[in-house]
C-alpha cells in the first residue's frame, strides 16, 4: 500500500468466537459452519471466520477492532493497535453482509452497541454542549501551509456565520450532544493518556483502553510523520504547561477542554451499511431485527450534515479573504457535499462554552451517494429533524454534479474543491475553475503525499457510485461510470498463479472546466496518468466490488469477467489470518523525521518522552523500540535493506470478504445460509445487542422458476407498500406471506399496473414485465416460507402521471 497521510480509518472483528464487550457483559457469536450455497459464499465465511477468530488478533480484549493485527504500522493512524471510525464502519458493513448470508443479525447490532460505548462520545465525554451558542459557533483561527507556522492565533475580529441546524437537532433528539464517531482511538492506551471512553478523564498509563486520542492539527503539509498526538480531553496532566493546546492554537490563556474530530466518509459508510442491513433483513422478513440500529444510523445521518457546512459557517463561494468573506445566514454556508471533517469541543464542566465547525474542503473520495439516497428516500432511514431528509436529497444532487465536474479526459476522478483556499480564505491563482463558487483543488486538504494520488480514493469512491447505479439506474451517473470502468479496466493486469497489478499512485495535470450545470464542460484539459502499480489487497477488493456492481447493473460481461478474475487472483494469497501480500515500506525511513516543536516549548509524553525542539517521530514514541518488528526498521535506518511487512488491515480484510460475498449474491444467487450453531451469549447480553436472532425465512437450496396455485394447507397472500416516491419514480416493498398450515418452497406474485409504471431494478425476486403485467418469483434463497412466515422483495420503478397501487395475486407450492 502506498503510505497516505489521510484521516482514514480501518479495523476488524474477532472470533470463530468474537467477544464484543458491553460493559462487563460479553456477546459471543459462533460463526456458521454448515455448507454455503456456492463456493464464493463459502469463501466469504472462511474469510469472515478468520477475521472473527480470537487467534487472529484483530480485536482488543474489549472487543474493539484494531487498525491492523500488526502493531508496527504507520500510515494514517501512527500505531497498528489504534483504531478508527473507518474501522467501525467496515465492521458494520461486514456484519451486515454476514446477516444477509446467515440470517443472523445479532453481530450487526453489536457493532452499533460497541460504537455507542467506545467511539461515539457519551454525554460524559462531551460535557458542556448546553453552553453552545449557535449564533457564534467558533472563533476563527487560520490554517497554515506548514506545521512550523503553528500555533495559529485566534482572531475574534473575523466574522463567522450562524449554525442553522443546532436548534432542530436539539428539538429532534432532546439533547445538545453530537451523535457522531470520533475518528481515532488508542485502543490499548499505548500512549498512556488514559482518555478512556465514557469517563471524560485523563486516567493515565495504567488505564485500560479504548481511549480517545487525536493527531493531525497543523495544516496541509503535516504528514503522519510530523504529528504530535494529544488526548481529546486535555486536562493538562501531560504535555507542557498548557497541556498540548498551545502547540496548535495561540491564545492569551488556556482552559481545560475536550474536542473531537469526525471523518464524514466513515459515518456515511456506517449509514450505507445500515441501509443494506435493512434491505437484506427486510428480504428475510425480519426488518425488526435491525430496526433499532437502522434508527441509530438515521440519527447519525442527521448530525453528519455538519460535514456539509463551511468551516466557520461563512457563505459558500468567492471567499477570498477572511474579513471580506461574509458570515453565512440561513443555508448560505452549506455546500451540501461531504467535507473532510467536522469537529466539536468545549470547556470542561464549569467553563461555560462549546464550539462546532464544519469544513469547506470536499474530496471526491469522501462522497457517498448511497447514504444520501437512503437518508432521503427510504422511510425507515429518514432523519427526525425538520430539514434532514431534504438536505440529503439536495446533497445527492450536488454529489452527482461534483462527480461529473471532476472526471478527467481519461476517466479517473480528480481531487475536489475548497471554500477556503489554503485554509484561510485566501485568493487562489488566477484562472482556478470553480464549482458553485468553490475553488478546484487537485489535492484537497493533505499534501504530503497529495490526497488524490493514492488510487484507493478512486476505488473507494467509485465503488459507491457503481453501487448507487445498481440501486437506482440513475441515467446521470452511467456515462461517468462507463468512462471510468473503461479507463480502469485498461490499467488492471491479471496473470497466472495469482499474479495481478492495479494502479497505486496517480499523477494529475490540468484542471476541469468551471462547472456549468446546464452545460457541463468536457474537461479536455484535465488528465491523469498512472505513476506506478501495486498489489494493495484492500484497494483491489474495493475495485472488484465496483466492477461487479457495474456488471450487474449494466450487463457488462467484460466487467464481470475482470472482476471475477481479479477476485480469484486475490483469493490465492490466503494465509492463516486472511488474504495478504508482503509490501516494502521505504517511507519507514521517516521514523527519524523531525517533529516541529516551537522554540521554547517543552513538555513530556505520559511515558516520559521529551517533547522539545529537535524531537523526532521516534523520540516521542520510544515504545516502538520495544516492538518485535522494530529491528527491521532499525536496520533500515542504519543503512540496511528496505523492510518488508505482511499486514492484515481490518478494512482490507473486511472488504475482501465482502467482495467474495458480492460475487455470490450478484451472479450465483447466493442466499441465506442458516447457522448450524445458534449464536449464544456466554454471559447475559445487554438489550442493545440481543444474543438471539431469528429469521422467518429459512434457506432453500433450490429455485422454482414457476409457481403453481397454492394447494394443500398453503394459503399465500401478498401486500404492497410504497417506501418512497419522488414524482417520477418510486421504490416499493412487497410482502409475501404464508398464512396456511404447511410450508411452501416456492412462490409467485403477479399484478397489472393501472398506469405507465416500469420496473428498472428489483431485489430478492426474479421479475419480468410485459406491457403492464409484472411477474415476480422467488430466488434460490427465499422460496421457503413456513406457516405464518413471510418474506419480502422490493423494486424501483419509473412513472409519469399517477401512481396507483396495483392489486396483487399470489400463489405458492
- For the chain, the distance separating the N- and C-terminal CA atoms, rounded to the nearest angstrom, is 53
CA 384-385-390 angle, 5° bins:
100
Rounded to the nearest 10°, the torsion over CA 295, 298, 303, 304 is 140
Coil, strand, or helix at residue 625? Answer: helix
Helices 456-472 and 478-489: crossing angle, nearest 10°?
140
Pairing type for strands 790-798 and 773-777 reads: unpaired
Task: Please choose, from the candidates 603, 88, 644, 163, the residue with its C-alpha nearest in 3D space to the C-alpha of residue 356.
Answer: 163
Strand residue runs (E) in 247-402: 249-250, 257-262, 342-347, 354-357, 361-363
Calculate the alpha carbon distances from 26 to 89, 91, 122, 199, 687 in Å: 21, 17, 20, 20, 12
Pairing type for strands 766-770 and 773-777 reads: antiparallel
Pairing type for strands 184-186 and 82-84 reads: antiparallel
- d(CA 260, CA 212) in angstroms, rounded, equals 9
- d(CA 85, CA 94) in angstroms, rounded, equals 14
* C-beta separation of 86 from 11 below 8 A: yes
The rounded radius of gyration (Å) of the Cα atoms in the chain is 26
The more confidently predicted of residues 751 and 706 is 751
* C-beta separation of 311 from 357 below 8 A: yes
Question: Would you call 384 exposed, middle or buried from its count of C-beta atoms within 10 A (0-12, 13-18, 19+)?
Answer: middle
CA 709-713-714 angle, 5° bins:
45
Q: Computed from CA positions of residues 118, 201, 186, 206, in that sequence, does the dihedral angle turn out positive or negative?
A: negative
**Which residues on neighbouring strands pair with residue 649, listed in sequence order?**
68
- d(CA 280, CA 763) in angstroms, rounded, equals 9
**Which residues on neighbouring strands pair with residue 770, listed in sequence order?**
773
Question: Would you call 11 exposed, middle or buried from its count of C-beta atoms within 10 A (0-12, 13-18, 19+)?
Answer: buried
Over 70: is that where the pLDDT of 671 sits? Answer: no
Coil, strand, or helix at residue 236? Answer: coil
Res 672: pLDDT = 67
* C-beta separation of 653 from 58 below 8 A: yes
The confidence band for 2, taking pLDDT boundaries of 50, 70 and 90, is very low
- d(CA 533, CA 490) in angstroms, rounded, equals 13
Res 723: pLDDT = 83
Cβ count near 775 (within 10 Å): 17
Q: What confidence tens digit (pLDDT) does each residue in 678-723 have? A: 333 333 223 233 222 222 222 222 222 233 344 445 689 999 999 8
Rounded to the nearest 10°, the torsion over CA 472, 474, 478, 479 is -170
Task: Please choose, from the candidates 210, 109, 160, the residue with its C-alpha nearest in 3D space to the C-alpha of residue 313.
Answer: 160
Q: What confidence tens digit (pLDDT) does each residue in 202-261 have? A: 999 999 989 999 999 999 999 999 999 999 999 999 999 999 999 999 999 999 999 999
Give mean pLDDT, residues 659-682.
68
DSSP 556: -
Got the DSSP string for 767-805?
EEEETTEEEEE--TTS--B-TT-EEEEEEEEE-SS--PP
Residue 548 phi/psi, 5° resolution? -70, -45
* C-beta separation of 20 from 689 below 8 A: yes
Give mean pLDDT, residues 367-371.
98
Pairing type for strands 249-250 and 152-153 reads: parallel
DSSP 689: G
The confidence band for 17, taking pLDDT boundaries of 50, 70 and 90, is very low
- Continuous H helices in 103-156: 106-118
Q: Computed from CA positions of residues 549, 553, 557, 558, in that sequence, does the dihedral angle turn out positive or negative?
A: negative
DSSP 379: G
Is 265 among the catalytic positions?
A: yes
Catalytic residue among 28, 38, 75, 86: 86
C-alpha cell at 100: 444477509
Q: Computed from CA positions of residues 524, 525, 526, 528, in that sequence, does the dihedral angle turn out positive or negative?
A: positive
Over 70: is that where the pLDDT of 32 sits? Answer: no
Res 790: pLDDT = 87
C-alpha cell at 678: 445458534
Q: What percent of the chain has pLDDT over 90?
A: 82
* C-beta separation of 47 from 656 below 8 A: yes
Catalytic residue among 95, 177, 234, 265: 265
Over 80: is that where the pLDDT of 286 sits? Answer: yes
- d(CA 233, CA 203) in angstroms, rounded, equals 10
Coil, strand, or helix at residue 326? Answer: coil
Residue 329 CA from chain centroid, whole number:
30
* C-beta separation of 236 from 256 below 8 A: yes
> What is the pTM assigned to this prediction?
0.84
Give mean pLDDT, residues 305-333.
97
Res 709: pLDDT = 42
Pairing type for strands 184-186 and 500-509 reads: unpaired
Coil, strand, or helix at residue 357? Answer: strand
Residue 494 phi/psi, 5° resolution? -125, 120
Helices 650-667 and 557-571: crossing angle, nearest 10°?
130
Q: E strand or H helix at 632, and its extent?
A: helix 630-637
- d(CA 87, CA 182) in angstroms, rounded, equals 12
Give mean pLDDT, residues 303-309.
98
Over 70: is that where the pLDDT of 795 sits? Answer: yes
Cβ count near 75 (within 10 Å): 21
Is 665 among the catalytic positions?
A: no
Res 12: pLDDT = 25
Can you tell me which residue has the cell 394443500?
712
DSSP 428: P
- d(CA 676, CA 679) in angstroms, rounded, equals 9
Question: Would you call 638 exposed, middle or buried from its count of C-beta atoms within 10 A (0-12, 13-18, 19+)?
Answer: exposed
Rounded to the nearest 10°, the torsion over CA 425, 428, 431, 436 is -30
Over 80: is that where the pLDDT of 25 sits? Answer: no
C-alpha cell at 152: 495559529
Rounded (to 5) percent helix, strand, coil in the chain: 30, 20, 50
Question: How high does pLDDT run on average in the chain?
Answer: 90
Res 180: pLDDT = 98
User: Number of C-alpha atoms within 13 angstroms, CB side, residue 282?
Assistant: 23
Over 90: is that where the pLDDT of 617 sits? Answer: yes
Q: What percent of the chain has pLDDT over 70?
A: 90
Q: E strand or H helix at 529, and its extent?
A: strand 527-534
Amino acid at each position: 500500500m502506498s503510505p497516505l497521510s489521510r484521516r482514514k480509518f480501518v479495523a476488524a472483528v474477532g472470533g470463530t468466537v468474537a467477544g464484543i464487550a458491553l460493559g462487563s457483559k460479553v456477546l459471543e457469536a459462533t460463526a456458521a459452519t454448515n455448507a454455503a450455497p456456492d463456493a464464493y459464499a463459502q469463501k466469504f465465511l472462511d474469510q469472515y471466520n478468520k477475521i472473527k477468530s480470537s487467534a487472529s488478533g484483530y480485536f482488543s480484549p474489549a472487543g474493539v477492532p484494531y487498525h491492523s493485527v500488526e502493531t508496527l504500522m504507520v500510515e494514517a493512524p501512527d500505531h497498528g493497535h489504534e483504531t478508527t471510525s473507518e474501522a467501525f464502519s467496515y465492521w458494520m458493513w461486514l456484519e451486515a453482509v454476514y446477516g444477509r448470508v446467515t440470517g443472523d443479525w445479532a453481530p450487526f447490532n453489536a457493532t452499533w452497541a460497541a460504537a455507542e460505548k467506545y467511539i461515539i462520545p457519551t454525554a460524559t465525554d462531551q460535557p458542556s454542549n448546553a453552553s453552545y451558542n449557535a449564533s457564534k459557533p467558533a472563533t476563527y483561527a487560520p490554517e497554515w501551509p506548514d506545521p512550523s507556522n503553528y500555533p495559529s492565533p485566534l482572531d475574534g475580529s473575523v466574522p463567522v456565520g450562524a449554525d442553522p441546524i443546532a436548534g432542530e437537532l436539539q428539538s429532534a433528539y432532546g439533547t445538545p450532544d453530537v451523535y457522531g464517531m470520533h475518528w481515532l482511538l488508542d485502543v490499548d492506551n499505548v500512549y498512556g493518556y488514559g482518555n478512556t471512553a465514557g469517563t471524560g478523564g485523563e486516567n493515565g498509563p495504567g488505564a485500560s483502553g479504548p481511549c480517545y486520542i487525536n493527531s493531525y492539527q497543523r495544516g496541509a503539509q503535516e504528514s503522519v510523520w510530523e504529528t504530535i498526538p494529544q488526548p481529546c480531553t486535555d486536562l493538562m496532566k501531560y504535555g507542557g504547561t498548557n497541556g498540548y493546546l498551545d502547540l496548535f492554537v495561540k491564545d492569551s490563556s488556556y482552559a481545560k477542554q475536550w474536542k473531537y474530530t469526525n471523518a464524514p466518509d466513515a459515518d456515511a459508510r456506517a449509514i450505507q451499511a445500515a441501509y443494506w442491513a435493512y434491505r437484506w433483513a427486510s428480504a428475510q422478513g425480519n426488518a425488526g431485527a435491525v430496526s433499532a440500529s437502522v434508527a441509530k444510523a438515521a440519527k447519525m445521518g442527521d448530525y453528519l450534515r455538519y460535514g456539509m457546512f463551511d468551516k466557520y459557517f461563512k457563505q459558500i463561494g468567492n471567499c477570498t479573504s477572511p474579513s471580506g468573506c461574509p458570515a453565512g445566514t440561513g443555508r448560505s454556508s452549506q455546500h451540501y457535499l461531504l467535507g473532510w471533517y467536522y469537529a466539536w469541543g468545549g470547556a470542561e464542566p464549569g467553563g461555560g462554552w462549546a464550539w462546532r465547525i464544519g469544513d469547506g474542503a470536499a474530496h471526491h473520495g469522501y462522497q457517498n451517494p448511497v447514504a444520501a439516497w437512503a437518508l432521503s428516500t427510504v422511510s425507515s432511514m429518514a432523519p427526525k429533524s425538520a430539514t434532514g431528509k431534504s438536505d440529503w436529497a439536495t446533497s445527492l444532487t450536488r454529489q452527482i454534479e461534483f462527480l461529473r465536474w471532476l472526471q478527467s479526459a481519461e476517466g479517473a476522478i480528480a481531487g475536489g474543491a475548497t471554500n477556503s483556499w489554503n485554509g484561510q480564505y485566501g485568493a487562489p491563482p488566477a484562472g482556478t475553475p470553480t464549482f458553485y463558487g468553490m475553488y478546484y483543488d487537485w489535492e484537497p486538504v493533505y499534501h504530503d503525499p497529495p490526497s488524490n494520488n493514492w488510487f484507493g480514493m478512486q476505488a473507494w469512491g467509485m465503488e459507491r457510485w457503481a453501487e448507487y447505479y445498481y440501486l437506482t439506474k440513475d441515467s446521470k451517473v452511467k456515462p461517468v461510470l462507463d468512462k471510468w470502468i473503461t479507463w480502469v479496466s485498461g490499467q488492471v493486469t491479471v496473470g497466472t498463479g495469482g499474479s495481478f497489478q492495479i494502479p497505486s499512485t496517480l499523477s494529475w495535470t490540468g484542471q476541469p472546466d468551471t462547472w456549468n450545470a446546464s452545460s457541463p464542460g468536457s474537461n479536455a484539459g484535465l488528465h491523469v496518468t498512472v505513476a506506478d502499480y501495486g498489489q494493495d489487497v484492500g484497494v483491489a477488493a474495493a475495485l472488484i466490488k465496483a466492477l461487479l456492481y457495474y456488471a450487474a447493473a449494466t450487463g457488462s460481461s467484460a466487467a464481470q469477467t475482470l472482476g471475477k478474475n481479479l477476485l480469484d487472483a486475490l483469493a490465492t494469497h490466503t494465509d492463516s489470518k486472511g488474504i495478504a501480500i508482503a509490501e516494502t515500506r521505504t517511507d519507514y525511513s521517516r521514523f527519524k523525521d523531525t517533529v516541529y516543536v516551537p522554540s521554547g516549548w517543552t513538555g513530556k509524553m505520559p511515558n516520559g518522552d521529551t517533547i522539545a525542539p529537535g524531537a523526532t517521530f521516534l523520540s516521542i514514541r520510544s515504545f516502538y523500540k520495544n516492538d518485535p518488528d522494530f529491528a527491521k526498521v532499525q536496520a533500515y535506518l542504519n543503512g540496511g535493506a528496505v523492510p518488508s511487512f505482511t499486514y492484515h488491515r481490518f478494512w482490507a480484510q473486511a472488504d475482501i470478504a465482502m467482495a467474495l460475498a458480492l460475487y455470490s449474491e450478484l451472479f450465483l444467487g447466493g442466499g441465506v445460509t442458516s447457522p448450524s450453531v445458534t449464536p449464544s451469549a456466554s454471559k447475559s447480553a445487554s438489550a442493545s445487542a440481543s444474543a438471539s436472532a431469528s429469521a422467518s425465512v429459512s434457506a432453500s437450496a433450490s429455485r422454482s422458476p414457476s409457481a403453481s396455485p397454492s394447494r394443500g394447507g398453503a394459503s399465500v397472500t401478498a401486500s404492497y407498500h410504497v417506501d418512497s416516491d419522488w414524482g417520477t419514480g418510486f421504490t416499493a416493498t412487497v410482502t409475501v406471506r404464508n398464512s396456511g398450515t404447511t410450508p411452501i418452497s416456492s412462490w409467485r406474485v403477479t399484478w397489472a399496473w393501472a398506469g405507465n409504471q416500469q420496473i428498472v431494478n428489483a431485489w430478492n425476486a426474479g421479475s419480468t414485465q410485459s406491457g403492464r403485467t409484472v411477474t415476480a418469483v422467488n430466488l434460490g434463497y427465499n422460496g421457503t416460507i413456513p406457516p405464518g412466515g413471510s418474506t419480502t422483495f422490493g423494486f424501483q420503478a419509473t412513472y409519469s402521471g399517477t401512481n396507483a397501487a396495483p392489486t396483487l395475486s399470489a400463489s405458492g407450492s
